[in-house]
Amino acid sequence: MCPDLSSVNIALIHHPVVNKRGEIIGSAVTNLDIHDIARTAKTYGIANYFITTPYQDQQQLVRELLAHWQTGHGAAYNPARKEALSIVRLATSLEEVITVLTQQYGRRPMIVATSALLGDNSLGYEALRQKIVQGEPVLLLFGTAHGLAPALRGQTDATLPPIRGGTEYNHLSVRSAVSIIIDRLLGS
């Protein structure tokens, strides 16, 4: 059975995340993350791609980039990019994303963290896929920098198992991790 993709959403979290020393930080929004994750999300039929940052300068950067590709010269120059970016939403926090999705679906979505570390409340890919097939609204959280802050992981309903590449090294770019995880969940 094919999953109902209209119930699957992703959020790229820029605060609170951790740095390599485990300190709570806010990370910078990057142009490549916006474009590449939007292209993956649109390809797999993700309903909404939220970029969350509380920082005004970072929000302005996102607004300017989206305006260029959705209504500016970029919209005419590259209609495929315009289409991919049509699902991007800007939010100040995870709480704002949850509020928006709760209103959209009439109930709070299941919040699922991703991490390079094994979580306490691990849920396998096939089990989550079955929840999606059953129409459960889902919000997948992806952390920037060195991952989601512990306080955010504590607000989730489940954590997907880490991606393992067969070596001890495990620090994928968030763009790569999003692509792999979405394919595992929604690929044919």
* Selected residue with higher pLDDT from 70 and 188: 70
**Distance separating alpha carbons of residues 114 and 186, to the nearest angstrom:** 15
Residue 132 — pLDDT band, cuts 50, 70, 90?
very high
Measured N-to-C along each axis, helices 31-43 and 174-186 cross at an angle, to the nearest 10 degrees, of: 10
**Distance separating alpha carbons of residues 95 and 86, to the nearest angstrom:** 22
Q: Are strands 48-52 and 8-13 parallel, antiparallel or unpaired?
A: parallel
| Three-point CA angle 37, 13, 118, nearest 5° | 95
In the chain, what are the domains? 5-186 (3.40.1280.10)
Average pLDDT on 114-136 reads 92
Cis peptide before 79 (omega within 30 of 0): no
Residue 170 — pLDDT band, cuts 50, 70, 90?
confident
Q: What pTM does this model have?
A: 0.95
| Interior/surface letters 68-83, b for 16+ CB within 10 angstroms, e for the rest | bbeeeebbeeeeebbe
Task: Give the pLDDT confidence score for residue 156 in this predicted structure.
Answer: 96
Task: Give the pLDDT confidence score for residue 117 in this predicted structure.
Answer: 85
